[in-house]
Amino acid sequence: MEKEIDIHRIREILPHRYPFLLVDRVVSLTPGERLTAVKNVTANEPFFDGHFPYRPVFPGVLMLESIAQASAILVSLIIDAKASQKNVYLFAGVDKARFKAPVEPGDQLLIEVALEAQRRALWKCSGKITVDGHTVCSADVLFTHRPIE
């Protein structure tokens, strides 16, 4: 099992694509337990044109989405799921979301997720994002992986 996963492998696992793919690299992995990923925040990302033009701030909902995507990679490796037009990951809930500091262009998000529970096709992961060692966001995410009908 790989311990580091590059963007090419991530694109094989996740169905997300630009501008909504929010994980650039997995830097550590304990299969079935935890994963640490990186997202590089750049000034040329399209949402910064409107959030906010004079002081760009990475949207909090996208931090939650990056936790969810890192969690989906962790689960995909457990269930051997691949990106496909036949399946999708869907949010089922977000609990304990907290935002501690703004994220700006030039920051590098270190996204740490851990598998907390699994019941049938519902997965729960806890996540934390740090920038330069400081927590900027934390949340528990609930999601499912299911076929598209």
Q: Does any domain span residue 54?
A: yes
Q: Does any domain span residue 53?
A: yes
Q: Does any domain span residue 143?
A: yes
Q: For residue 111, give the 3-state DSSP assignment.
A: strand
Give the C-alpha separation, 88 to 26, whole Å: 20
Cα–Cα distance list, 127 to 66, 92, 149 (Å): 9, 15, 30
Q: Does any domain span residue 123?
A: yes
Identity of residue 101? A
Q: Copy the structure tokens of residue 18.
A: 């630009």
Does the annotation count 51 as an active-site position?
Answer: yes
Q: Copy the structure tokens of residue 122.
A: 């519902």
Which residue range is the domain that position 121 belongs to?
7-147
The pLDDT value recorded for residue 61 is: 97
Domains identified in the chain, total number: 1
Q: Does any domain span residue 1?
A: no
Q: Give me the catalytic one of 8, 16, 51, 134.
A: 51
First and final C-alpha spacing in the chain: 31
The pLDDT value recorded for residue 83 is: 86
Q: Does any domain span residue 33?
A: yes
The pLDDT value recorded for residue 147 is: 81
The one-digit pLDDT tens for each residue of the chain (149 residues) are 568 999 999 999 999 999 999 999 999 999 999 999 999 999 999 999 999 999 999 999 999 999 999 999 999 999 898 888 888 899 999 999 999 999 999 999 999 999 999 999 899 999 999 999 999 999 999 999 888 87
CATH of the domain at 128: 3.10.129.10
Beta-carbon contacts of residue 114 (< 8 Å; ≥ 6 apart): 33, 34, 125, 126, 127
Q: Does any domain span residue 131?
A: yes
Q: Does any domain span residue 2?
A: no
The pLDDT value recorded for residue 1 is: 55
Beta-carbon contacts of residue 81 (< 8 Å; ≥ 6 apart): 13, 75, 87, 145
Do the beta carbons of residue 94 and residue 64 sit within 8 Å? yes
